[in-house]
Structure 1
Amino acid sequence: MSGYLVLQTDFGLVDGAVSAMHGVAHTVSDEIVVKDLTHEIPPYDIWVASYRLYQTVSYWKEGTVFVSVVDPGVGSDRRSIAVKTLDNHYIITPDNGSLSHILHYQGIAEVRQIDEVKSRLPHSEESHTFHGRDIYAYNGARLASGEITFEQLGSVIPVEDITTLPIVNAEIEGKILRGSIDVLDVRFGSLWTNIPSEFLHKENIRPGDSVQVTIFHKGKKVYQNILQFAKSFADVNVGEPLVYVNSLVNVGIAVNQDSFSDLYHIGTGTDWIVELRRAPKIIFE
């Protein structure tokens, strides 16, 4: 193991929940390094939790252990699982769809089901609402510290049996690049799509070109405009919209120093579809 444990939740930082998870981890081992991915996932939003893991996991060294707790079904019969990804990272999380993007884009090598009765923080048996502390942080720390192996976390279950959320694949149809608006660059309101930048290359769309952007919500057109494809926000005026390549090397849509999402009331998820195409040339006489 790498000795790193990375935590993600929807708990926020207004109370002691996250601190308790850190405390449990360090009680298991003072040798591990505990870091936070985010604790600002919108409450109960499994989709965003799944995306943030996809955004982050591959940038950590092999052997890093992630704990992701967005768990509206805590205390129910949903399973607690640990997975090993194809690139040798580990994630401990409820089996509720929070691994959808990791499975789809990066791949999972093996899944283990954690016994919530046996593998938990000692003396926590009467608590059924804080599995983030009692099961996930506890077992994440044991794994990160080398106290237990991945194989000791539980019995194998088939990868295809884990719960997943539907994901829309990006595609090129004719001259149209189509995909979903998966998530926001939260603080700035930019739209992050799943359309890879290589699609722009295939259509020979280069920085400085004009791109027609059309956005649909549940099949209804809600936005259409012609935007510049820019290398960076500084390439357009303040308040001007643009198409760019984000940090995951996918297409983003933004407004320089404003929130595209707020201005045009655009949301995220598979109900939100975006289409891009090279804009027709307009000749003024």
Structure 2
Amino acid sequence: MRRVQALVMALALLAGPAGAKEPPVHPAVVSDPAPDAAYPAGMDALVIPAGDGAMNGVMYTAAGAGTHPTLLLLHGFPGNEQNLDLAQAARRAGWNVLTLHYRGSWGSPGVFSFANAAQDAWTALLFLEQSATVARYRVDTSAIVVAGHSMGGFMAADAAAAEPRVAGLFLIDPWDPSETAESLATPQGEAAWKAEVAGDLPPLAGATYDSLTAEIRTHADRFDLGHRLIAYARRPLTIVGAERGIGATARKLGAQAQGGNPDAQLMVWPTDHSFSDKRIALADALVRFLKSVAPTAR
């Protein structure tokens, strides 16, 4: 009996104070809003010209009259996880969402490279600010947020740092190419990178192990994510890392960012790089971040 009582008491302590509950998930993550017959939600496939090619993209448009805050959502390398569940949650929260495939990836015309992907993120951001885009999709240019997963985290930070009008930045287990470039000095680091690239090349056009490795080796400073976060300065920023992904990098980047941006938020969760068992939590974190940037969004 004493053992049973001790076990019950231990479980109670682990559960927290009596009556304590987990904070509720934001409704936009788990439930559909009431339909708007006059201004329904929608989806529009589009092509954005970029350099020597183009980006195939999709705009998820939020329901409701008037302009809408808008999220640019960037996938990683090569983009097997596209995070479209996050796009849908953001739209239910009243946000337009633009997703895309970089030049040379997944059928988008052109050649894939890290430099091209960075240029593509910038081009997509400018696309959202164009008068024709604003009119067609009712974009509120005062509330544009950029989010990116893995390699897309670098591309998101790179574009946001260069555009002071970006209202927020949300990074999901972000990759720092300069850190990988540094690791190439060891046989173990080079072997890990070679294995990573070998598995990621099939959906990429024009890219090789040598071309991608030369980019980050030769231009490590250009691809330094910590420098981009410092340039982003004191605007809203959240970094969500993954312990079984590259959470150590997220912690380092969070510390760098908080040096000049004390309000920057860092979370590192016990999950893998794709957040396979934390999709609801990740969507909830994103939606709450977006609501903090544009509290009046539907």
TM over 0.5: no
Considering fraction of residues, name the structure with more helix: 2
Q: Shorter-chain TM-score: what band?
A: under 0.3
Length-normalised TM-score, structure 2 = 0.22
**TM-score after normalising by structure 1:** 0.23
Structure with more strand by fraction? 1
